[in-house]
Structure 1
Amino acid sequence: MIGARREGRARVGTFATYDDLSPVSEPGRTIGEVLRDIGGDGSEGAWEDRLRAMALANRLVAHHSDVVAASLRPFVLAVASCLASLRSSVCKAAIGLVKTLACHLKGRLDGELSVVLPGILKRSAESTFLTVEADEALLLLVDAASPRALIATLSNHVSERRLQSKIAMALAFCVERRGEEKSLFRGRAGRSSLETALATMNECIRTGNPDARAHVKRCLSTMFDVLGAEEMFEPLRRYEELSVMEQSLEYYQSS
């Protein structure tokens, strides 16, 4: 059990704040204990061990990111299992840990998006007291990942109707933050990302969700700003749902 032996036993109920982000004395040993305990063993008190493990995990990520990076896949898999927990305190702690990962391992999470992003999307799409924090974690992940990796990962989940509004929000944020990098949608890889993004946005608005439509409109407006109407016309016309926005987009361009 993590806590009492070397790092000090934190009190249950304090894990959500993560005020203590000091280094750990033996990161190589500690990450092994974290990976062992963070998944829980199904026992009645396992959730307390998971909270203690995540409190230590935040310290590892903040001060020993290379140690975490060396075991990144099992680390992220363990965090994803906590995101799916039915115990809200465990889920809340996992969301906080995702934020820490996004802040301190920026640029190194592309390969882990398929593991962690679905859980954050689902928590973000739920109407609970965790929604705001999940939204924050989602936007931090968007900022931490490369745009093309993010677009590809989001597209894999767009068929889940309840996630579409959040997927559209993430795409809009991504394009607004990184759209000024014209290379994002240029070249063979860039055009492929553009097609994937348009197809994803088209699917997001099929059901008429007003939030999804608002996010998609923002995203398209940014694309028009970056690429221009001529470059957008041909790929856009292939997507029926997006094409119905043409009139409002023309208004946007002329305003």
Structure 2
Amino acid sequence: MRALYSAATGMMAQELNVQVISNNIANMRTTGYKRQQAHFQDLLYQTMRRAGATTSAQDTQTPSAIEIGSGVKAVSTARAMSQGNLTPTERDFDIAVRGEGLFQIRLPDGRAAFTRDGGFDLDAQGRLVTKDGYEVEPGIVIPQNVQSVSISASGVVEVTTPDAPEPQEVGRIQLTRFVNKVGLESIGDNLFLQTAASGDPVQGNPGEEGYGSLQQGYLEEANVNAVTEISALISAQRAYEMNSRVISAADQMLQAASQMFRG
């Protein structure tokens, strides 16, 4: 009976849906996290009778078809790349992006990664790095005897030292955009990688056309809404239960049919 298979695919789809929702909820406090959404498509249909089929010698036609579906399949767990709320941290090297763009990070193996997590620190050489020690590109080095650090909305990094009380520029933070940022590959640690679907990275300065601005002393929160996720979780649970009931009902119908043939 097709209903058994269709309901089974529905249960598997809702299992995936719950996994996506649970990951969103788990990352509600993850800086720069972008929530995922599970998307589904119906599977192939068996056509028992086509719409418009001739039904008589007078060429009358059927107004609709008889099509039997075979269930559902998952097609993507795309990320919603909308802006998260900005939270003050009072740390000089915490930087939030307000608008479009990602920070570019250099991984230890030389690959370029991208992130919305602007929680940066300094390493032993004074380089601006992520929490895992990956260098922020383009490389910016902060002098050891620095007294203050200022990062403008356009990404210009200026410092003052005892020998130079006037602000001195030491570098400029850039942002990266993609034609299809939803096509980026998630690798954990709040990092994304370029893919064939995302297109090539396009770098620019914060505040320029098409790029967001920077805000020093702030971090971007996850764009996860607790109410939305709980509502989605309840809906997924109900859909899973309904599919399981379909399996039970189909099983009972098969048992009844089997008993009829035996009788």
Same fold (TM over 0.5): no
Q: TM-score, normalization: structure 1?
A: 0.23
Normalized against structure 2, the TM-score is what?
0.22
